[in-house]
Amino acid sequence: MYRDAQLVALHKPAGISLLADRSGAPCLWDELPALIEGKPYLVHRLDKGTSGVLLVARDQPTQSALTRAFAGRRVGKFYLAWVTGTMTCTGTGTIDLPLRPGRKSRYRVAGPRDAIVRRGERWTLTKRDAEGVDALTRFRVLARTRGRTLLLLAPRTGRTHQLRVHLAWIGHPIVGDSLYGRPGAPEQSAARLMLHCHRLVLPGHGAFRAAIPADFG
């Protein structure tokens, strides 16, 4: 954990909700006042299944400044993900697919599935829905093993479930993703969602990292 007068950076485990949900299970929000030694001000969120760096402001001016930095795309965000299948990219690639809300609290690519095309190392849409919002993810292939691929992901936009939707719709869902993948498929089997927020880089504050947990892989 990192703590200064303005913010706290901590490592959120997978499987722990940040805020209370309908299940009534314990959530991190209840523990934050003790962890940060004061009133917490949320800056960003991680899905329940995602582990990694979580930033919490210790005062409202810091929260406002960091919220503007996230909204202005001035925060560097880097995730690790194990995905199904062997990606054929030579090293780096870009997923440039707009998103829109789907059904049952899901999100989807804002266009027909058969309108997704790959040109070199870039996935785009040839036809998009009018209500879609731009969503851009860059990635680097780090390893391929056992029919899976390890990616370093750098989302350039911050749409809800962006990484999970992008990877699922290009045919490489994140291992353990029961919402966007195929939970009954052997290649999807995992004890957790294999998505980890590895590093955040904030203007004026530097870089914050979360070590790769033992259950990731």
DSSP secondary structure of 74-109: -SEEEEEEEEES----SSEEEEE--EEE-STT-EEE
Looking at residue 36, its pLDDT comes to 87
Looking at residue 197, its pLDDT comes to 98
What's the CA gap between 58 and 89, in Å, rounded?
Answer: 42
Structural domains of the chain, ranges and CATH numbers in brackets: 2-74+203-209 (3.30.2350.10), 80-188 (3.30.2350.10)
Q: pLDDT tens digits, residue range 144-183?
A: 998 999 999 999 999 999 999 999 999 999 999 999 998 7
Compute φ and ψ for 150, nearest 5 degrees. Answer: -95, 125
Positions in the chain whose pLDDT score sits under 50: none
Q: Which residues are catalytic?
A: 47
Q: Is the torsion defined by CA of 103, 192, 69, 140 positive or negative?
A: negative
Q: Which of 145, 165, 147, 169 is nearest to 155 (CA)?
A: 165
CA atoms within 13 A of residue 65's CA, in its CB half-sphere: 12
What's the CA gap between 7 and 194, in Å, rounded?
Answer: 27
Looking at residue 19, its pLDDT comes to 86
